[in-house]
Amino acid sequence: MQAPPRVQLLFWALLGCASVILTEVVTFSFPFPFVTVWGLLVICPLYTLHVLVLAWLIFRRGAVSLYTLFLAGALLGMYEAYVTKVLWNPTWGDATVTFGGVYVVQTAILVLFYHPLMAFVLPLLVCESLFTTSRELLRSLHARSQRWISSRPVLTSAVLGIYGGAFHAVAASSVRNSLTSVLLSAFVWGVVVLAWKRWGGKWTLRDLLPSDRQATGLIGLLLIGYLWQGVLLRPEALPRTLLPHLTVWAMYLLFGGLLWLHLRHSAPLAAPEPARRCQPERLSIAYFLAFASTSVLGSAMKTAAGAMVLVSFLLGIGTGLWLVLRAAVALRQLTVQARPTSGSYPD
């Protein structure tokens, strides 16, 4: 059953806020997205539209899996090509290693790790766990991860906040700006959470995601954003030769093709299970307290904070590569299982 449009919009705001905070605020790439014109008109819609469209896509057929979640998140990360042009012309990090016209380190971090996890999977997981009666994303994770998150929700929130604070400390220009960024983000998130507590109600994640008709409009808005930002945002960074474009198209084909094939073989939707009730205010406080505290402490220990972030990059990229390979292997197995036996054909 579809939730009323006003309830959907409120949940979409939660999804967008979570995605923006976990990406742009944590990395200090755009620390004040909720109080600036560019943040409100460009950054927030960009992430919100991506999350909604891709979530609609993977929830349309059967049950979601870790592979479909990761591949959809990788497609989200690909906006760093034609929108920001970072894959071709980085604005951060050592721009030295290239392959096929794209910068390897930046591409690996953004497409194989950070955007799939922080901009897509975690916002969906957080918002489903805190604000809905379903737990589909939690069930798609490894059993050990499910047990950890379910049994230690406050600690999980604090650990996520510690990681965000460490990253924030490394990238922030000053402690004052860092704290201001965290507090403003916490305030906006708190307002939307309280609004949900008052007007949200009890719905599953599928009830709150866009319908097919709504998704058509959202896709149109996303394409408009790609068009004008692709043309006007850093036009000098757009490659003038064919090879860099071919490399990006090949990446789109890889992630999009694997996602499409996995969606074709989606498992049937399991019967819903009773969901343990969460306390969004308590978990949000745990996250932002850990975030703010670690950000301040990390500014005095930038070497240690930087080491934590570097290790996360290495582990995240390794996990992303492993998931791509496993998605291909799992697809082969699914294809073989779906192939009819000789006795299935009519005489």
Q: Strand runs (DSSP E) across the chain, as ranges?
A: 98-99, 102-103
Q: Which one-letter amino acid corresponds to residue 343?
A: G
pLDDT for res 299: 82
Q: Which one-letter amino acid corresponds to residue 48?
A: T
pLDDT for res 341: 47
Higher pLDDT, 214 or 336: 214
Q: pLDDT tens digits for 199-250?
A: 988 899 999 999 999 999 999 999 999 999 999 989 999 999 999 999 999 9
Residues 140-149: contacts with CB within 8 Å, 24+ apart? 140/63, 140/64, 140/65, 140/66, 140/69, 141/66, 142/66
Q: How confident is the model at residue 268 (pLDDT cuts 50, 70, 90)?
A: confident
- Tokens 């094939």, residue located: 261
- Tokens 């090949």, residue located: 250
Q: What are 99's strand-pairing partners?
A: 102
* Paired sense of beta strands 102-103 and 98-99, if any: antiparallel
Q: pLDDT tens digits for 297-306?
A: 888 888 888 8
Angle at 10 between CA 35 and CA 272, to 5 degrees: 135
Paired tokens of 255: 């992630």
Integer Cα distance of 130 and 277 in angstroms: 8
Whether the per-residue pLDDT at 24 is higher than 80: the answer is yes
pLDDT > 70 in the chain, percent: 94
Nearest-10 Cα torsion for 134, 78, 75, 323: -90
Whether the per-residue pLDDT at 342 is higher than 50: the answer is no
Q: How confident is the model at residue 42 (pLDDT cuts 50, 70, 90)?
A: very high
Choose the weakest-confidence range: 32-36, 156-160, 262-266.
262-266
pLDDT for res 189: 96
Residues 264-267: contacts with CB within 8 Å, 24+ apart? 264/61, 265/331, 265/334, 265/335, 265/338, 266/61, 266/62, 266/63, 266/64, 266/65, 266/68, 267/62, 267/63, 267/65
Length of the chain equals 347
pLDDT for res 235: 92
pLDDT for res 190: 95
**In 10 A of CB 207, how many CB atoms?**
18
**The model's pTM:** 0.91
Q: What is the mean pLDDT of residues 43-69?
A: 93
Choose the weakest-confidence range: 14-28, 163-177, 223-237, 285-299.
163-177
Q: What are 182's strand-pairing partners?
A: none
Q: pLDDT tens digits for 108-161?
A: 999 999 999 999 999 999 999 999 998 889 888 888 888 888 888 999 999 999
Q: What is the mean pLDDT of the chain?
A: 89
SS (H, E, C) 171-198: HCCCHHHHHHHHHHHHHHHHHHHHHHHH
Q: Strand runs (DSSP E) across 191-264, as ranges?
A: none
Integer Cα distance of 116 and 89 in angstroms: 21
pLDDT for res 140: 86
Higher pLDDT, 332 or 240: 240
Q: pLDDT tens digits for 62-105?
A: 889 999 999 999 999 999 999 999 999 998 877 778 999 999 99
Integer Cα distance of 140 and 151 in angstroms: 17
DSSP 8-state secondary structure symbol assigned to residue 93 = S
Paired tokens of 129: 């766990």
Q: How confident is the model at residue 345 (pLDDT cuts 50, 70, 90)?
A: very low
SS (H, E, C) 2-69: CCCHHHHHHHHHHHHHHHHHHHHHCCCCCCCCCCCHHHHHHHHHHHHHHHHHHHHHHHCCCCCCHHHH
Q: How confident is the model at residue 271 (pLDDT cuts 50, 70, 90)?
A: low
Choose the weakest-confidence range: 15-29, 138-152, 174-188.
138-152
